[in-house]
Chain A
Amino acid sequence: MITVENLTKEFIIHKKQPGLLGTVKSLFLREKEIKKAVDGISFTIQPGEMVGYIGANGAGKSTTIKIMTGILNPTAGLASVNGLIPYEQRQKNARQIGVVFGQRTQLWGDLPLRETFSILKEIYEVPKADFDQRMKYLDGVLTLSEFITQPVRTLSLGQRMRADLAASLLHNPKVLFLDEPTIGLDIVVKEKVLAAIKDINKQYGTTVILTTHDMADIEELCSRIIIIDQGKKVHDGSLAQIKDQYGFMQTLVMEIKEAEKVATLNLAATFKLDEEDLIVNLEDTTLSLRFNSHKVKASDLLFHVMQRLPVIDMKVQETNIEEIVKGIYQGRGL
Chain B
Amino acid sequence: MNLRTYMPFARSVMQTYLSYGVNAVVFMLGGFLRVFLAYYLWMAIFDSSGQEVLRGFSRVEMAVYVMMMDFIIRLTFAAEADGWVGEEVRSGAIAMNLIKPISYTGRIFFMSLGSLFYEVLFVFLPMGLIFGWLGTQFLGVILPEPIQFAAFFLSVFMGFLILFSINLSFGFLAFYLKNLWGMGNFKYVLLTFLSGALIPISFFPEAFQPLLLALPFSSIHYTPVQIFLGKIQGQELLVALGTQALWAVIFYLGSQLVYRGAVKHLTVQGG
Contacts and interface: CB of A to CB of B under 8 A. Distances in A.
Report whether chain A binds chain B: yes
B176 to A, nearest CB: 13
A123 B102 contact: yes
Given A92-B101, A111-B15, A122 B270 contact: no
13 contacts: A11-B269, A12-B269, A70-B98, A90-B98, A91-B102, A92-B101, A97-B99, A104-B92, A118-B8, A119-B9, A123-B8, A123-B101, A124-B101
B96 interface: yes
B37 to A, nearest CB: 33
Interface of B: 2, 4-5, 7-9, 12, 15-16, 19, 92-93, 95-103, 266-270
A111 B16 CA distance: 7
A110 B9 contact: no
Give the 8 A-B residue pairs with the shortest CB-CB distance, closest first. Answer: A94-B101, A119-B8, A106-B96, A73-B267, A91-B101, A95-B101, A110-B16, A71-B95
Contacts of B2: 125
Contact of A119 (B12, B93, B98, B103): B12
Given A66-B95, A71-B95, A122 B8 contact: yes
Given A66-B95, A71-B99, 18 more contacts: A11-B269, A63-B270, A71-B266, A91-B101, A91-B102, A91-B103, A104-B93, A104-B95, A106-B99, A108-B12, A111-B16, A115-B12, A115-B15, A119-B8, A122-B5, A122-B8, A123-B101, A125-B5
Contacts of B19: 110
A99 B8 CA distance: 21
Contact of A66 (B5, B12, B101, B270): B270
Interface in A92-141: 92, 94-95, 97, 99, 101, 104-106, 108, 110-111, 115, 118-119, 122-125
A33 B2 CA distance: 44
A99 B99 contact: yes
A70 B99 contact: yes
Contacts, number: 68
A53 interface: no
Contacts of A99: 99
B142 to A, nearest CB: 43
A72 interface: yes
Q: Is the interface of B mostly helix, strand, loop or mixed?
A: helix
Interface in A50-100: 63, 66, 69-73, 87, 90-92, 94-95, 97, 99
Nearest to A63: B270
A66 B96 CA distance: 10
Among A66, A70, A118, A119: residue with most chain B CB under 10 A:
A119
Nearest to A73: B267
A111 B99 contact: no
A103 to B, nearest CB: 10
Contacts of B97: 106
A282 B157 CA distance: 84
B96 A101 contact: yes
Given A12-B269, A71-B267, A104-B93, A111 B98 contact: no
Interface in A1-46: 11-12
Contacts of B96: 101, 104-106
A121 to B, nearest CB: 9
A94 B104 CA distance: 13
A94 B99 contact: yes
A87 B268 CA distance: 11
A69 B100 CA distance: 10
A71 B98 CA distance: 6
Contacts of A111: 12, 15-16
Contact of A69 (B4, B7, B99, B268): B99
B102 to A, nearest CB: 6
A63 B270 CA distance: 9
Nearest to A37: B270
B12 A11 contact: no
B268 A73 contact: yes
A104 B100 CA distance: 14
A91 B99 CA distance: 7
A73 B265 CA distance: 10
A47 to B, nearest CB: 20
Contacts of A63: 270
Interface hub of B7, B19, B101 (most chain A Cβ within 10 A): B101
B260 to A, nearest CB: 13
A70 B93 CA distance: 15
